[in-house]
Chains A and B, each alone.
Chain A
Amino acid sequence: MSVLTEPGPPPGVGPAPVLTGKSRPGEAVIKVLLVVATTTSVLVTAGILLAVLEPALEFFRRESIGEFLSFDTNKQFSALPLVVGTGLTTVIALSVAIPIGLGAAMYLSEYASKRARKWLKPTVELLAGVPSVVYGFFAVFFVIPVVLRDWLGIPVSAYNSLGAGLVLGVMIIPTIASLSEDALSAVPLALRQGSFAMGANRMQTTLRVVFPAALSGIAAAVVLGMSRAVGETMIVLMAGGSIKSTSADITQGHETMTGVIARTALGESPVESTEYKYLFAVALLLFIITFVMNMISIAIVRRFRQAY
């Protein structure tokens, strides 16, 4: 075994090349700017917490937490009836968006050709692009008076949770459809081939093999859609009614968390009034609820990614 030993002096071919770094002050500045830009998104979260927390704490200095966390609709600053209102519209929205969104996702992932999907998926996503104020208008002037009252003969009041919830459901269809489609498409082809090889048809393969395999991704999509529904403002402001109510009657109006926030902001309450501070206390509750949902969704996606 012979080994090269002498690294030796550089053979004489002119001056040795310079390999030490050039100073690049411009690039150092750019890199700092990029880091600052990236940090902004973290600061936004901190800013949101600060902007909401400070007035919310002022509210709790003036009013008791007991009053805030009460179901009593007669108390001016109770918040739980709002949670009931938001919960009702959200459940109605999900009962529309889950089956429809999932159906669309299954078609796109399991049936549509690649070419068709390229155009159909963005078309479904268009629904997410319609402004919520337009959906609110549609709920108030079409869905409630025409669809619910005239066509279906349901005796609904002018503003009600059913109408608001149904339209809200339409709005979150693309969220659920798009993310579920991602989850379904991520299921390995081998699983489908295995199922087809057993003689299963496309429907059986979709429902019994692909759907269960993608379940966690679909769950994440549903949770995210739910979080969207909880946080949506204009539809429930316009169509959901403005009366605090804990009744389960969806043909009546229920004030919601976002509804009370927007209505108070649009009103004449002075910035220092307790009514105005109440808005931030409700917003804090809203932020916590959506934050928990988002984290659940993120955690499900993480776990689901590890599966393959």
Chain B
Amino acid sequence: MASHPATFSTGQSPAAAVDALNVADDAQTIGALPDDVVMETVNLNVFYGDFHAVHDVNLSFGKNEITAMIGPSGCGKSTVLRCLNRMNDLVPSARVEGSINYHGQNIYAPKVDPIAVREHIGMVFQKPNPFPKSIYDNIAYGPRVIGMKVDNMDDVVEEALRGAALWDEVKDKLKQSAYGLSGGQQQRLCIARTIATKPDVILMDEPCSALDPIATSKVEDLMLQMRKDYTIIVVTHNMQQAARVSDRTAFFTARPDETTGNRTGLLVEFDRTKDIFANPHDPRTEAYISGRFG
């Protein structure tokens, strides 16, 4: 098991650490790939205006697996995640090269509608963002807007809340504002809201970073339960979390541009979580998970 992150105190800057490791910047290690691939990125490059945010990322996400994306701040892991359901379209200057194939279809193909993509690929955000409505309406909103055929909305709401392990806590106050819930409950409500539309893949962008340890462990338990029904891709700062919940881990790092100093994110290593934590191939991965920089 990797050392605890609180122990890293070498005082070394990340760049210096990379130099010290003396490895080629673009070296990449790809370990065992999933058999049943739901989604994959092929030579994914992301730009914001002239800024090259992410360089050549190739990943595949297995069905009913949890894939964790880890790495230091600014390594592009959240950017990659936001490309996976085209939420990056909302940034006017964003541009994507390469392709992201979902069940064999490139979601960036011209004919693809980002709205339809998001119906299949849901997202949970860093900060819980319930709508300023009742708990019930928060859940019912998704099925309503995508025009899902629903026999009884009450059942859909109950099923989604049970799916997010929240039903017992809120069943008596469904008509109350979602803002009255605690942070952890709000985040599980956002998960319930996402599964109410019956997506195939769920993206989670640091879902526990705003939560306390107890709420975090509830969300982690929930993720493990949800794995049997969904494919989950999670970005996390917390290596323990990646180790605890994920089946596969992708480690990203950032490479500063020599002239501009802008940091471009790239994939260093992608493998089964147990392998990457027990036996990392790339010295940068090892340095990160052993807490030498990050």
Interface residues of A (CB under 8 A from B): 1-4, 7-11, 13, 16-22
Residues of A within 8 A of B129 (CB): none
Of B29, B30, B36, B107, which one neighbours A19 at CB under 8 angstroms?
Answer: B107
Interface residues of B in 66-112 (CB under 8 A from A): 101-105, 107, 111-112
Given A17-B102, A22-B113, 11 additional A-B pairs, CB 8 A? A1-B27, A4-B30, A7-B42, A7-B104, A9-B104, A10-B103, A11-B38, A19-B105, A19-B107, A19-B113, A19-B116
Judged by a CB distance under 8 angstroms, whether B227 is at the interface is no
Q: How many A-B residue pairs have CB under 8 A?
A: 66
Judged by a CB distance under 8 angstroms, whether B37 is at the interface is yes
Residues of A within 8 A of B36 (CB): 11, 13
Residues of A within 8 A of B112 (CB): 19-21
Residues of B within 8 A of A8 (CB): 37, 104
Beta-carbon contact of A3 and B102 below 8 Å = no
Beta-carbon contact of B37 and A17 below 8 Å = no
CB distance from A16 to the nearest CB of B (A): 5
Q: What are 20 A-B pairs at a CB distance below 8 A?
A: A1-B26, A2-B29, A2-B30, A3-B30, A4-B42, A4-B58, A4-B60, A7-B101, A11-B35, A11-B36, A11-B37, A11-B38, A11-B63, A16-B104, A17-B120, A17-B200, A19-B107, A20-B113, A21-B111, A22-B115
Chain B residue, CB-CB nearest to A14: B103
Measured CA separation A8–B200 after assembly (Å): 19
Residues of B within 8 A of A4 (CB): 30, 33, 40, 42, 58-60
Interface residue count on the B side (C-beta < 8 Å): 30
Beta-carbon contact of B29 and A10 below 8 Å = no
Judged by a CB distance under 8 angstroms, whether B240 is at the interface is no
Query: Which one of A1, A4, A18 has the highest number of Cβ atoms from chain B below 10 Å of its Cβ?
Result: A4
Residues of A within 8 A of B111 (CB): 20-21
Residues of A within 8 A of B115 (CB): 21-22
Contact with A along B41-54 (1 / 0, CB 8 A): 01000000000000
Chain A residue, CB-CB nearest to B33: A4
Chain A residue, CB-CB nearest to B28: A1
Measured CA separation A20–B116 after assembly (Å): 7
Residues of B within 8 A of A2 (CB): 28-30
Chain B residue, CB-CB nearest to A1: B28
CB distance from B96 to the nearest CB of A (A): 15
Beta-carbon contact of B28 and A7 below 8 Å = no
Judged by a CB distance under 8 angstroms, whether B226 is at the interface is no
Judged by a CB distance under 8 angstroms, whether B117 is at the interface is yes
CB distance from A14 to the nearest CB of B (A): 9
Query: Which one of B33, B42, B101, B105 has the highest number of Cβ atoms from chain A below 10 Å of its Cβ?
Result: B105
Beta-carbon contact of B58 and A3 below 8 Å = yes
**8 tightest A-B contacts by CB?**
A21-B113, A10-B104, A4-B58, A10-B103, A16-B103, A19-B112, A2-B30, A11-B36
CB distance from B250 to the nearest CB of A (A): 12
Residues of A within 8 A of B105 (CB): 10, 16-17, 19
Chain A residue, CB-CB nearest to B120: A17
Measured CA separation A7–B43 after assembly (Å): 11
CB distance from B27 to the nearest CB of A (A): 6
Residues of B within 8 A of A16 (CB): 103-105
Residues of B within 8 A of A13 (CB): 36, 38, 63, 103
Chain B residue, CB-CB nearest to A20: B111
Measured CA separation A1–B111 after assembly (Å): 34
Residues of B within 8 A of A10 (CB): 103-105
Of B26, B29, B101, B103, which one neighbours A17 at CB under 8 angstroms?
Answer: B103
Chain A residue, CB-CB nearest to B112: A19
Beta-carbon contact of A7 and B40 below 8 Å = yes
Measured CA separation A22–B118 after assembly (Å): 13
Residues of B within 8 A of A18 (CB): 116
Chain A residue, CB-CB nearest to B115: A21
Contact with A along B1-26 (1 / 0, CB 8 A): 00000000000000000000000001
